[in-house]
Amino acid sequence: MKYDKFLKAAIAGLTLSLTAAAPSIAPAETLRVLRGAASSALSVPMSRAVVVESDVPFTELSIANPGIADISSLSDRTIYVLGKEPGRTTLTLLGENGRLITNVEVHVSPDMAEFKERLTQILPGENIEVRTANNGIVLSGTVSSIARLDRALDLAERYAPDRVSNLMTVGGTQQVMLKVRFAEMQRSVSKALSSSLALSGLGFGDDVGITGGTNRTVGQGAINGALSNSVPTSNSNNGAFVFGFGAGSLEVGILLEALETRGVVRSLAEPNLTALSGQEATFLAGGEYPVPSSNDGGTITVEYKPFGVELSFIPRVIDGDIINLELSAAVSAIDPSSGFQANGFSVDAFSRRETSTTVEMRDGESFAIAGLLSDDFNDLNGQVPWVGDIPVLGALFRSAEFSRRQTELVIIVTPHLVSPTRGEALALPTDRVRPPTEQGLFLFGQVARTGGPSTGGAGEVARQDFSGSYGYVLDE
């Protein structure tokens, strides 16, 4: 008796331990056929099995489309149905003498339970509703970003390839304002020093000149100018020193020319543009320049090339405030110094600063997407052969030129997530200034009247005092 109790206790303990260690298995879905009719339609998840039980013994089974579901009999009252492909088909049960017991509608669909579980694991916290429709998956609800929407669609394609309907919407701010800044500084400096010597008399003739630089010949005119203590009219340099002297019938004229130039160019452009996430926006502030061209028949046609400040970009709000930018920006201007002339036509060239790239950053962050540092140096030294090599005195027969040009360029982009506002809250550049009255124009010389709205953003602009310095100011 004691051994029986001990054996029962051991078996009970082993059973409990195995039950605790084994994973929990969900009970199989069972459809019952009572009184010759199915209690409901049979829903079978794809790659899963469902049991059909009948209260009447059957002798024969058939499935209308074996490609959708497969069947096998476990007994004369139990049927095993396995879902293979999404779709609908009919299961027929026949009894003795071929008597029809019932027709069961079998609906095979993707495994929504597993899909919902995976969707919750991959995209936690997203309000996505999952439904089935016509052998496919329908996703609806609101997601926080386009990236999460794409992930949900990719996962759904795994369970229902080419049968996914997207009814989801993206919440949050999906409009992006892009601020682009082109900043360029150019500095140039050049220096030149040359000398010329002219002699007249004692067999030198009336017009003999020796020069130490190119295109600086000094003849009788230079001698006369030197002797009269005046700079020759052909001299274009900013600094020149001329003197002359005579010794008997010999006249000597000396011209020293010096040139130094410095220049600074500052360029700044700040185009701003707003676009919806995933949509392209373009911007052009400038114009179009006509360029003539000739075809094979000799006909002259005109093509127009845009110039000015150009901006084109496609923003994509990826996740939260992370923004992907695919952009192309350029600043161009007409440059007549680099043009050409042909067949009676004069065509100007363009100076252009352009960049095209793709970057990713958060709302309000800035990125220097392009930069340029250029340093050009030219040095030229010319002299009269042999004479220019004479120490000290040879300086009168030499010319030296020096030029240096430096360019610094940087392009910075800053995206912002923006939302629309009421129209009266926005201010326009024209809100502050209005045309003058005839009395103010003719009697008081006014070119504009100040004043405007008193409320909203326009009123704030109208109350500002623009009598002092405003706009972009360059401090030197």
SS3 assignment, position 120: helix
Q: φ, ψ for residue 157 (rounded to 5)?
A: -65, -25
Residues with Cβ within 8 Å of 49's Cβ and at least 6 positions away in sequence, in order, are 28, 80, 81, 82, 83
Matching CATH topology for 37-109 and 112-170? Answer: no
Q: What is the pTM of this model?
A: 0.57
Residues with Cβ within 8 Å of 9's Cβ and at least 6 positions away in sequence, in order, are none
State mean pLDDT over 22-47: 62
Q: Give dist(CA 207, CA 228) in Å, integer.
A: 16
State mean pLDDT over 219-241: 48
Residues with Cβ within 8 Å of 293's Cβ and at least 6 positions away in sequence, in order, are 300, 301, 302, 303
Which residues in 278-344 belong to E strands, given as ranges?
281-294, 300-319, 322-342
Assigned token pair, 326: 């695919």
Query: How much is the pLDDT for 199?
Result: 63
Query: How much is the pLDDT for 280?
Result: 92
Query: How much is the pLDDT for 77?
Result: 85
Split at pLDDT 50, 70, 90, the class of 356 is very high
Quick check: 341 and 348 in contact, CB under 8 A?
no
Least confident range of 15-24, 32-41, 274-283, 342-351 = 15-24
Query: How much is the pLDDT for 209?
Result: 44
Which residue's entry shows tokens 């500002």? 464
All structural domains of the chain with their residue ranges: 37-109, 112-170, 265-420, 423-464
Say yes or no to pLDDT of 426 above 90: no
> What CA–CA distances, in Å, run from 376 to 184, 189, 298, 354, 406?
16, 11, 42, 21, 6
Q: Give dist(CA 462, CA 459) in Å, integer.
A: 5
Alpha carbon dihedral 52, 54, 57, 61, in 10-degree steps, equals: -40
CATH number, span 37-109: 2.60.40.1080
Over pLDDT 70: what percentage of the chain? 71
Query: How much is the pLDDT for 288?
Result: 87
Whose CA is closest to 271, among 322, 321, 331, 315?
A: 331
Query: How much is the pLDDT for 461?
Result: 54
Say yes or no to pLDDT of 452 above 60: no
SS3 assignment, position 179: strand
Query: How much is the pLDDT for 414?
Result: 93
State mean pLDDT over 33-44: 69
- The amino acid present at 319, given as its one-letter code, is D
Q: Which one-letter DSSP state was computed for residue 446?
A: -
Query: How much is the pLDDT for 208?
Result: 45
Quick check: 397 and 214 in contact, CB under 8 A?
no
Least confident range of 128-137, 160-169, 238-247, 372-381 = 238-247
Whose CA is closest to 418, among 317, 283, 271?
A: 317
Q: Which one-letter DSSP state was computed for residue 228?
A: T
Query: How much is the pLDDT for 30?
Result: 67
Position with higher pLDDT, 251 vs 138: 138
Q: Give dist(CA 188, CA 376) in Å, integer.
A: 9
Assigned token pair, 70: 């497969």
Position with higher pLDDT, 83 vs 394: 83
Say yes or no to pLDDT of 216 above 70: no
Split at pLDDT 50, 70, 90, the class of 8 is very low
Q: How far apart are the first and last CA of the chain?
A: 111
Query: How much is the pLDDT for 16?
Result: 39
Query: How much is the pLDDT for 225?
Result: 41
Query: How much is the pLDDT for 75?
Result: 86
State mean pLDDT over 199-203: 58
Which residues in 363-448 belong to E strands, given as ranges?
367-383, 398-418, 433-434
Least confident range of 58-62, 182-186, 214-218 = 214-218
Condensed to tens digits (0 to 9), the pLDDT of residues 105-152 reads 888 887 788 888 888 888 888 888 888 877 788 999 888 777 788 889
Position with higher pLDDT, 211 vs 52: 52
Q: Give dist(CA 17, CA 8) in Å, integer.
A: 14
Split at pLDDT 50, 70, 90, the class of 456 is low
Say yes or no to pLDDT of 227 above 50: no
Query: How much is the pLDDT for 455?
Result: 56
Split at pLDDT 50, 70, 90, the class of 200 is low
State mean pLDDT over 455-466: 55
Position with higher pLDDT, 85 vs 13: 85
Position with higher pLDDT, 235 vs 274: 274
The CB density around residue 291, as the number of other CB atoms within 10 Å, is 14
Query: How much is the pLDDT for 116?
Result: 86
Assigned token pair, 199: 């002699």
Query: How much is the pLDDT for 457?
Result: 53
Residues with Cβ within 8 Å of 139's Cβ and at least 6 positions away in sequence, in order, are 128, 129, 130, 152, 153, 156, 164, 165, 166, 167, 168
Q: Give dist(CA 225, CA 219) in Å, integer.
A: 10
The CB density around residue 50, as the number of other CB atoms within 10 Å, is 20
Residues with Cβ within 8 Å of 263's Cβ and at least 6 positions away in sequence, in order, are 186, 187, 188, 189
By CB atoms closer than 10 A (0-12, 13-18, 19+), residue 149 is buried
Query: How much is the pLDDT for 51?
Result: 87
Q: Give dist(CA 239, CA 357) in Å, integer.
A: 49
State mean pLDDT over 360-382: 87
Assigned token pair, 184: 């360029």
Assigned token pair, 291: 């360029």
Least confident range of 6-10, 372-376, 401-405, 409-413 = 6-10
Assigned token pair, 451: 């004043």
CATH number, span 112-170: 3.30.1340.30
Position with higher pLDDT, 124 vs 397: 124
Q: φ, ψ for residue 149 (rounded to 5)?
A: -65, -45
| Strand order through the sheet with 300-319 | 281-294, 300-319, 322-342, 345-362
Q: Give dist(CA 72, CA 63) in Å, integer.
A: 10
